[in-house]
Protein backbone atom coordinates (compact mmCIF):
# COMPACT_ATOMS: atom_id res chain seq x y z
CA UNK A 1 0.00 0.00 0.00
CA UNK A 2 1.40 3.41 -0.90
CA UNK A 3 1.89 6.09 1.72
CA UNK A 4 -0.32 9.18 1.41
CA UNK A 5 0.36 12.88 1.82
CA UNK A 6 -2.81 14.81 2.62
CA UNK A 7 -2.84 18.55 1.95
CA UNK A 8 -5.80 20.62 3.12
CA UNK A 9 -6.07 24.31 2.13
CA UNK A 10 -8.27 26.34 4.44
CA UNK A 11 -9.30 30.00 4.22
CA UNK A 12 -10.40 31.47 7.53
CA UNK A 13 -12.27 34.56 8.54
CA UNK A 14 -9.36 36.89 9.41
CA UNK A 15 -10.60 37.41 12.95
CA UNK A 16 -10.70 33.62 13.51
CA UNK A 17 -7.05 32.86 12.64
CA UNK A 18 -5.85 33.01 16.24
CA UNK A 19 -8.73 30.75 17.32
CA UNK A 20 -7.80 28.22 14.63
CA UNK A 21 -4.14 28.24 15.63
CA UNK A 22 -5.15 27.54 19.24
CA UNK A 23 -7.39 24.68 18.13
CA UNK A 24 -4.61 23.24 15.98
CA UNK A 25 -2.16 23.44 18.88
CA UNK A 26 -4.62 21.60 21.12
CA UNK A 27 -5.20 18.68 18.71
CA UNK A 28 -2.01 18.25 16.67
CA UNK A 29 -0.42 15.74 19.09
CA UNK A 30 -3.66 13.76 19.22
CA UNK A 31 -3.78 13.60 15.41
CA UNK A 32 -0.13 12.53 15.23
CA UNK A 33 -0.97 9.76 17.72
CA UNK A 34 -3.54 8.29 15.35
CA UNK A 35 -2.48 4.92 13.91
CA UNK A 36 -0.71 5.43 10.60
CA UNK A 37 0.01 9.17 10.96
CA UNK A 38 3.73 9.74 10.57
CA UNK A 39 3.80 13.56 10.57
CA UNK A 40 1.63 16.65 10.64
CA UNK A 41 2.49 20.29 10.02
CA UNK A 42 0.70 23.60 9.64
CA UNK A 43 1.80 26.18 7.07
CA UNK A 44 0.69 29.72 6.16
CA UNK A 45 0.19 30.94 2.63
CA UNK A 46 3.03 33.29 1.62
CA UNK A 47 0.65 35.98 0.34
CA UNK A 48 -2.63 35.49 2.20
CA UNK A 49 -2.32 35.55 6.01
CA UNK A 50 -5.74 33.95 6.56
CA UNK A 51 -4.97 30.92 4.35
CA UNK A 52 -3.47 27.87 6.03
CA UNK A 53 -2.40 24.44 4.86
CA UNK A 54 -2.11 21.25 6.82
CA UNK A 55 0.25 18.59 5.52
CA UNK A 56 -0.16 15.15 7.01
CA UNK A 57 1.64 11.96 6.10
CA UNK A 58 -0.12 8.62 6.45
CA UNK A 59 1.11 5.04 6.05
CA UNK A 60 -1.88 4.25 3.82
CA UNK A 61 -5.19 5.51 2.50
CA UNK A 62 -6.86 3.19 5.02
CA UNK A 63 -5.10 4.95 7.91
CA UNK A 64 -6.19 8.34 6.61
CA UNK A 65 -9.79 7.17 6.21
CA UNK A 66 -9.82 5.64 9.71
CA UNK A 67 -8.79 9.06 11.07
CA UNK A 68 -11.40 10.84 8.95
CA UNK A 69 -14.11 8.60 10.49
CA UNK A 70 -12.85 9.07 14.07
CA UNK A 71 -14.54 11.13 16.78
CA UNK A 72 -11.39 13.28 16.98
CA UNK A 73 -11.75 14.29 13.33
CA UNK A 74 -15.52 14.85 13.57
CA UNK A 75 -15.19 17.10 16.63
CA UNK A 76 -12.17 19.01 15.31
CA UNK A 77 -13.65 19.50 11.84
CA UNK A 78 -16.94 20.79 13.26
CA UNK A 79 -15.06 23.48 15.20
CA UNK A 80 -12.75 24.27 12.27
CA UNK A 81 -15.37 24.64 9.57
CA UNK A 82 -17.30 27.17 11.66
CA UNK A 83 -14.31 29.51 11.17
CA UNK A 84 -14.04 29.22 7.38
CA UNK A 85 -14.40 32.17 5.03
CA UNK A 86 -14.37 29.89 1.96
CA UNK A 87 -14.73 26.21 1.15
CA UNK A 88 -11.67 24.11 1.98
CA UNK A 89 -9.76 22.13 -0.64
CA UNK A 90 -8.18 18.74 0.08
CA UNK A 91 -5.68 16.74 -1.94
CA UNK A 92 -4.33 13.23 -1.39
CA UNK A 93 -0.98 12.48 -3.01
CA UNK A 94 0.89 9.20 -3.25
CA UNK A 95 4.22 9.53 -1.50
* pLDDT tens per residue across span 19-50: 999 999 999 999 999 999 999 999 999 999 99
Can you tell me the distance from the alpha carbon of 78 to that of 73, in angstroms, rounded to the nearest whole number? Answer: 8
Q: What's the pTM?
A: 0.94
User: pLDDT for 72-87, tens place per residue?
Assistant: 999 999 999 999 999 9
Can you tell me the distance from the alpha carbon of 12 to that of 75, in angstroms, rounded to the nearest whole number? Answer: 18
CA distances from 52 to 3, 64, 69, 88 (A): 23, 20, 22, 10
Can you tell me the distance from the alpha carbon of 2 to that of 61, in angstroms, rounded to the nearest whole number? Answer: 8
Domain containing 58: what range? 4-94
CATH number, domain with residue 60: 3.30.70.100
- Domain count across the chain: 1
Amino acid sequence: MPAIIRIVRMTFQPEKCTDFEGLYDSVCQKIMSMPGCTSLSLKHDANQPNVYYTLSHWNSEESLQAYRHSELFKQTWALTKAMFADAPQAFSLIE
